[in-house]
Amino acid sequence: MNKRELTKRYLVFLIGLYINSFGVSFITKADLGTSPISSIPYVLSLWFIPTLGQFTIVFSLALIALQIAILGKKFQKVQLLQIPVSIAFGYFIDESMNLLSWLEPDKYYLKIVSLLIGCVILGFGVYLEVIADVVMLPGEAFVKAATQRIKAEFGTTKVCFDASMTAIAGIVSVVLFHRINGVREGTIIAAAIVGLIARFFGRELSLLTNILFPVKTDININTEKSEQDPLVITIGREYGSGGREIGKLVASKLGIAYYDDELIYQVAKENGYSDEFVRNNEQKLTHSFLYDLYTQNYAYINGEEGKFDALFHAEVRTIKEIAAKESCVIIGRIANFILAEQKNTFNVFVYSDIDSKTKHVMERESLNKNEAEKKIKKAETERKNYCKHFMGKEWGMANAYDLSLKSDLYGVEKTAKIIMELVKY
């Protein structure tokens, strides 16, 4: 990274840090508690003379010391930049608190408005800090150090860290004031939505991100159809509709590669996963909203992902690499959306009525009717949530495909024949 690029990144980071201070101040001024990371400094500032910003500096320095103790020789010297960052952030908070001295919402709905404004501001600041990708704040850096030490997921550790900070702040409050002071519903709300807001900005402002920090990709996507380009047939399907059998027949008749379980093996091999891990975790997202709440913790840091996100991105890379080099049939994995920019594709969706799907699953998996219906509902819910979470699209909608076919009406062989005739291979 050259000096100009590094300077730009630190400038964006400092802007994000300054914006963050206003977010913290708005949330604090709402008088409904403050963010988890600021809860201990805030409670202490209500009793002792030092300000919220000054206690934030002391608290941050303590977290840096703990990082050094946890990591020992593995602590990178560049992370000492957290010290001046912490000092700057503390002064920014005190300045913003002074500038917002006029803000004293007295009605509950005004407090809520102030809290939500603060969360939006804080989320935008987090977005800027993360895309700058130069140095972490001590809170997130401490969590990362802890995950390295105990070999845990960042998201889980971050949840535990935030809960611990809130609990300790509550205990300190009871000791000092003999009641809960400085920790309220606003603390929980901030913990739940700031990361979601930061991710929203990251998604909606992707153009700004690319302008500030262009990302080079080494995977080329075919954007113009040509006879020399590989033909890729993607087959999305309802569970039990026979899409897998149809896809296998199409690939066999056309003499091209077929990817279903084969994709699992390739993703596992290329990314250091076990076959079992990929099989048990791909395309599975039972509760999209709950997973969003969990993964919003990853919005605070670069280079860390939840297991579903990491696996999804691994599959995206593999699917794009396959599609760029050979003609093939790809089953599921929302490949139609992943390869949306690649013109030489033919996207098919196979569906069937519930009775036909149930009968098929009963025979294939030796289940009774009730078990088969439950499995179909669960699998299709997971696929819908998976598609919505990662692509922001509705799974199974006709406008996402070139062709939709009712397999129980035509049967496996005729459905495969229709697909082959239409692709004009």
Distance CA 421, CA 425 (A): 8
Strands of the sheet containing 257-259, edge to edge, are 257-259, 328-331, 232-237, 345-351, 403-406
Q: Per-residue confidence at 81, pLDDT binned at 50, 70, 90?
A: very high
Quick one: 10 and 153 in the same domain? yes
Q: Per-residue confidence at 117, pLDDT binned at 50, 70, 90?
A: very high
Tokens at residue 292, please? 């969003």
Cα 70-74-79 angle, rounded to 5 deg: 85
CATH code for position 240 = 3.40.50.300
Q: Per-residue confidence at 199, pLDDT binned at 50, 70, 90?
A: confident
Out of 133-142, 220-229, 236-245, pick the least confident: 220-229
pTM of the predicted protein model: 0.74
**Per-residue pLDDT at 275 exceeds 90:** no
Tell me, yes or no, whether 255 lies in a domain.
Answer: yes
Distance CA 387, CA 396 (A): 9
Quick one: 201 and 54 in the same domain? yes
Distance CA 228, CA 293 (A): 45
Out of 58-62, 95-99, 158-162, pick the least confident: 158-162
Tokens at residue 361, please? 């699953």
Amino acid at 317: R
**Per-residue model confidence (pLDDT) at position 287:** 63
**Per-residue pLDDT at 215 exceeds 80:** no
Element (H, E) at 280: helix 275-281
Quick one: 309 and 189 in the same domain? no
Distance CA 12, CA 132 (A): 6
What does pLDDT average to over the chain? 89
Nearest to 28 by CA among 163, 182, 176: 182
Domain range spanning residue 13?
A: 3-212
Out of 2-16, 182-196, 285-299, pick the least confident: 285-299
Q: Per-residue confidence at 341, pLDDT binned at 50, 70, 90?
A: confident
Q: Per-residue confidence at 294, pLDDT binned at 50, 70, 90?
A: low
Q: Which residue has the higher pLDDT, 389 or 99?
A: 99
Quick one: 173 and 277 in the same domain? no
Distance CA 388, CA 337 (A): 11
Quick one: 194 and 301 in the same domain? no
Tell me, yes or no, whether 227 lies in a domain.
Answer: no
Q: Which residue has the higher pLDDT, 88 or 225?
A: 88
**Per-residue pLDDT at 216 exceeds 70:** no
Q: Evaluate the CA torsion angle 364, 368, 372, 375 in order and state its sign.
A: negative
Query: For the chain, first and last CA: distance in Å?
Result: 46
**Per-residue model confidence (pLDDT) at position 276:** 85
**Per-residue pLDDT at 301 exceeds 80:** no
Tell me, yes or no, whether 258 lies in a domain.
Answer: yes
Tell me, yes or no, whether 132 lies in a domain.
Answer: yes
Share of the chain above pLDDT 90, in %: 61
Quick one: 164 and 39 in the same domain? yes
Q: Which residue has the higher pLDDT, 215 or 92?
A: 92
Nearest to 155 by CA among 217, 199, 185: 199
Q: Per-residue confidence at 155, pLDDT binned at 50, 70, 90?
A: confident
Distance CA 391, CA 399 (A): 15
Q: How many CB atoms lie within 10 A of CB 179?
A: 7
Domain ends where: 212, 242, 266?
212
**Per-residue pLDDT at 425 exceeds 60:** no
**Per-residue pLDDT at 399 exceeds 70:** yes
Quick one: 265 and 313 in the same domain? yes
Domain ends where: 177, 212, 247?
212
**Per-residue model confidence (pLDDT) at position 247:** 93
Q: What are the φ/ψ torsions at residue 184 (nearest 5 degrees)? A: -140, -160
Burial of 355 (0-12, 13-18, 19+ CB in 10 A): exposed
Quick one: 198 and 304 in the same domain? no
**Per-residue model confidence (pLDDT) at position 167:** 93
Output the CA–CA distances (angstroms, integers) from residue 49 to 41, 52, 92, 104, 299, in the order listed: 12, 10, 18, 21, 34
Quick one: 254 and 181 in the same domain? no
Contact 128, 22 (CB under 8 A): no
Q: Per-residue confidence at 286, pLDDT binned at 50, 70, 90?
A: low
Report the pLDDT averaged over residues 71-95.
94
Total number of domains in the chain: 2
Domain ends where: 161, 178, 212?
212
Quick one: 146 and 281 in the same domain? no
Query: How are the residues of the chain apportioned to helix, strand and coil, as percentages rounded to the nearest 5?
Result: 70, 5, 25
Give DSSP secondary structure letters for 288-304: HHHHHHHHGGGGG-SS-
Q: How many CB atoms lie within 10 A of CB 20?
A: 25
Tell me, yes or no, whether 222 lies in a domain.
Answer: no
**Per-residue pLDDT at 67 exceeds 90:** yes
**Per-residue model confidence (pLDDT) at position 46:** 93
Q: Per-residue confidence at 291, pLDDT binned at 50, 70, 90?
A: low
Out of 30-44, 162-176, 218-232, 265-279, pick the least confident: 218-232
Tell me, yes or no, whether 397 lies in a domain.
Answer: yes
**Per-residue pLDDT at 219 exceeds 60:** no
Residues 6+ away with beta carbon under 8 Å from 27: 34, 35, 38, 114, 115, 118, 119, 122, 186, 190
Tell me, yes or no, whether 313 lies in a domain.
Answer: yes
Quick one: 192 and 260 in the same domain? no
Tell me, yes or no, whether 93 lies in a domain.
Answer: yes
Quick one: 91 and 139 in the same domain? yes
